[in-house]
């Protein structure tokens, strides 16, 4: 069995950082990262981007050395991805913030509104319903993060958590301030509007959860297997017939219901911004499905059936 010699160069300066002798041909990039880490402890595997070309794409951890277009002396290029943080930690931080922040406004703790309103409750029942729905949504997200989601990538750059938390926490405070404001006025069409909105919200929350379960069941524990998602016996998953990312479709529906329920402009703006971002994610996911699977259903749209 022939062995490989592996040299790792800095992608920017082309300086040699590491030389590995007698590397097994069936060694994976993940294993090479671990070897590199031993000589450079400051760059743990999650921080490493190993490439065939200085400006090329990062190789996958599961890529096997002998299957790559390299000779017996393989040259790779390294880039530092920066400090990393686990996706679980990111999601728990992102979602705990809005849950707590909204409740601070709901319970009208001091220094938010006029002192005479401290710890008083709203006279409008829709305000209490909105708090329950908002809290339910983020408790659901936290539980899904802990017990449902399986992540194909274990970490993300630490700097991203500040951007993400600013988005989620900031919007939560903006929405909560107006919905729980002492001068808040209920929706124009009263109880009927709120009831319909609540039904939309709950329907989409169940749908979103159903999609997350379906996606989870596609990937065995500990694997990075990718399969085409198809509808299951659960009717909420039948939207897979027309949409590649129905989890985003249901998420959009939930926030449209919440917007209708509260009739609050900051909520509408949050829904719009979220829709734009989810559309970007859905289009990217849709493109990757089409590229990876030749038999991918052509009828599907990224997020909205027949439209987008």
Q: What is the pLDDT of residues 272-300, one digit of tens each?
A: 999 999 999 999 999 999 998 999 998 99
Tokens of 256: 């449209």
Q: Is the pLDDT of residue 1 over 60?
A: no
Q: Is the pLDDT of residue 304 over 60?
A: yes
Is residue 303 situated within a structural domain? Answer: no
User: Does one domain contain both 185 and 274?
Assistant: yes
Crossing angle of helices 125-147 and 190-218, in 10° steps, is 0
User: Does one domain contain both 124 and 70?
Assistant: no
Query: What mean pLDDT is predicted for residues 135-162?
Result: 88
Centre a 10 Å sphere on the Cβ of residue 100 and count the other Cβ atoms it contains.
Answer: 12
Q: What is the pLDDT of residues 153-209, one digit of tens each?
A: 678 888 889 999 999 999 999 999 999 999 999 998 989 999 999 999 999 999 999
User: Does one domain contain both 287 and 167?
Assistant: yes
Is residue 304 situated within a structural domain? Answer: no
What are the CA-CA distances from residue 78 to residues 6, 30, 39, 152, 276 (Å)?
Answer: 12, 13, 14, 21, 34
* Measured CA angle at 93 (ends 92, 98), to 5 deg: 100
User: Does one domain contain both 32 and 90?
Assistant: no
User: Does one domain contain both 252 and 278?
Assistant: yes
What pTM, to 2 d.p., does this model score? 0.85
CATH code of the domain in which 58 resides: 3.10.20.90
Residue finishing a domain among 54, 82, 110: 82
User: Does one domain contain both 44 and 93?
Assistant: no
| Contact call for residues 293 and 228 (beta carbons, < 8 A) | yes
Q: What is the pLDDT of residue 63?
A: 83
Q: Is the pLDDT of residue 64 over 90?
A: no
Q: What is the pLDDT of residue 82?
A: 85
Is residue 143 situated within a structural domain? Answer: yes
User: Does one domain contain both 95 and 33?
Assistant: no
Per-residue pLDDT band for 11 (boundaries 50, 70, 90) equals confident
Query: Total domain count for the chain?
Result: 2
Domain boundaries, position 142: 86-292
């Amino acid at each position: 069995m022939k062995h490989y010699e592996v040299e790792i160069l800095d992608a920017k300066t082309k300086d040699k950082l590491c030389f590995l002798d007698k590397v097994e041909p069936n060694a994976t990039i993940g294993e090479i990262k671990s070897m590199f880490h031993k000589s450079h402890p400051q760059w743990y595997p999650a921080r490493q981007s190993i490439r065939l070309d200085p400006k090329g794409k990062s190789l996958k951890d599961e890529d096997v050395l002998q299957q790559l277009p390299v000779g017996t002396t393989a040259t790779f290029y390294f880039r530092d991805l920066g400090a990393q943080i686990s996706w679980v930690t990111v999601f728990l931080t992102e979602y705990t913030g809005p849950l707590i922040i909204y409740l601070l406004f709901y319970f009208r703790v001091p220094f938010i509104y006029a002192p005479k309103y401290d710890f008083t409750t709203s006279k409008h029942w829709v305000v209490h319903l909105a708090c329950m729905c908002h809290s339910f949504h983020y408790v659901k997200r936290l539980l899904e993060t802990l017990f449902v989601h399986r992540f194909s990538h274990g970490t993300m750059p630490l700097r991203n958590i500040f951007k993400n938390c600013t988005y989620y926490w900031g919007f939560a405070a903006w929405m909560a301030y107006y919905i729980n404001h002492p001068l808040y006025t209920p929706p124009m069409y009263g109880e009927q509007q709120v009831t319909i909105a609540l039904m939309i919200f709950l329907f989409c929350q169940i749908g979103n959860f159903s999609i997350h379960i379906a996606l989870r069941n596609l990937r065995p524990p500990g694997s990075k297997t990718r399969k085409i998602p198809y509808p299951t016996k659960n009717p909420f998953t039948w939207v897979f017939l027309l949409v590649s990312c129905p989890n985003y479709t249901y998420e959009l529906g939930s926030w449209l219901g919440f917007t209708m329920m509260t009739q609050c402009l900051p909520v509408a703006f949050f829904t719009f911004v979220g829709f734009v971002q989810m559309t970007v994610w859905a289009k990217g996911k849709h493109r990757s499905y089409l590229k990876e699977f030749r038999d991918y259903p052509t009828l599907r749209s990224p997020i909205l059936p027949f439209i987008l």
